[in-house]
């Protein structure tokens, strides 16, 4: 597989090598050792999730308190989504910026999103099926959101606004600057310290 760091430091696009034959296709979509080499520590898998979404569904922008937050390794096993990683870490040199990866059942890419960054995707097809490997279990009291339609962030969701389907929770979530004012966002220095701690543990 090929692993490429995105413009938001610490996040990665993973492109697997596919092996087709007359029976179908085989591929490795996750290798803990390859990912750990790129990230600096392995993904400590604690939970796996799957979502199935109609075209136009937007899920996110979601994040969790650091530590431990929740690192995610995300792939699309059916259909297609545009997956976004958003830097919401206050004090980061790329605060408010984002990058994207198309995840689909053709190239079968994955994206790794470290702790402290925001995650969002928009489904481009009906029944788009997304699988997430997570480093921590869901903890409702530590989970937060930023409105995916926030103009300050300006995600390119690639569909008309009247085609988008958002949950009430995501619709009611604050914009980036309001979330910052409310003290909801992780701090960049705290995230870097946590990453260093994980790297040191991996090297012990």
Q: Are 155 and 97 in contact (CB under 8 A)?
A: no
pLDDT value, residue 204: 56
Rounded mean pLDDT of 170-190? 97
Over residues 56-90, the pLDDT tens digits come to 999 999 999 999 999 999 999 999 999 999 999 99
Domain 43-196 classified CATH 2.60.120.10? yes
CA 65 to chain centre: 15
Rounded mean pLDDT of 181-201? 96
Distance (Å, whole) CA 146 – CA 204: 36
Distance (Å, whole) CA 190 – CA 26: 40
Question: In this structure, what DSSP letter does residue 43 have?
Answer: -
Over residues 104-142, the pLDDT tens digits come to 999 999 999 999 999 999 999 999 999 999 999 999 999
Spatial CA neighbour of 6 closest among 174, 119, 90: 119
pLDDT band at 203 (very low <50, low <70, confident <90, very high): confident
Q: Is the pLDDT of residue 191 over 60?
A: yes
Over residues 8-17, the pLDDT tens digits come to 999 999 999 9
**Block residue for tokens 């979530």:** 173
Question: In this structure, what DSSP letter does residue 187 have?
Answer: B
Written as six digits, the tokens of 67 are 């530590």
Q: Please state, rounded to an integer, the average pLDDT across all residues of the chain.
A: 97
Residues annotated as catalytic are: 62, 132
Q: Are 41 and 202 in contact (CB under 8 A)?
A: yes
Q: Which residues pair with 3 in a beta bridge?
A: 14
């Amino acid at each position: 597989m090929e692993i490429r760091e995105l413009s938001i430091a610490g996040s990665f696009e993973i492109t697997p090598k596919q092996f087709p034959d007359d029976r179908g296709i085989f591929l490795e979509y996750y290798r803990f050792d390859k990912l750990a080499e790129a990230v600096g520590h392995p993904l400590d898998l604690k939970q796996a999730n799957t979502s199935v979404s109609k075209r136009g569904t937007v899920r996110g922008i979601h994040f969790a308190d650091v530590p431990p937050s929740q690192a995610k390794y995300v792939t699309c096993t059916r259909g297609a989504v545009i997956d976004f990683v958003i830097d919401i870490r206050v004090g980061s040199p790329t605060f408010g910026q984002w990058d994207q990866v198309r995840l689909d059942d053709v190239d079968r890419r994955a994206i790794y999103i470290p702790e402290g960054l925001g995650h969002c995707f928009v489904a481009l097809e009906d029944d788009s099926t997304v699988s997430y490997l997570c480093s921590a279990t869901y903890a409702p009291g530590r989970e937060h959101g930023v409105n995916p339609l926030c103009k300050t962030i300006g995600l390119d969701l690639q569909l008309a606004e009247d085609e988008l389907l958002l949950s009430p929770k995501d619709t009611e979530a604050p914009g980036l600057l309001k979330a910052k004012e409310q003290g909801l966002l992780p701090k960049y220095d705290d995230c870097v310290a946590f990453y260093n701690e994980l790297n040191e543990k991996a090297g012990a």
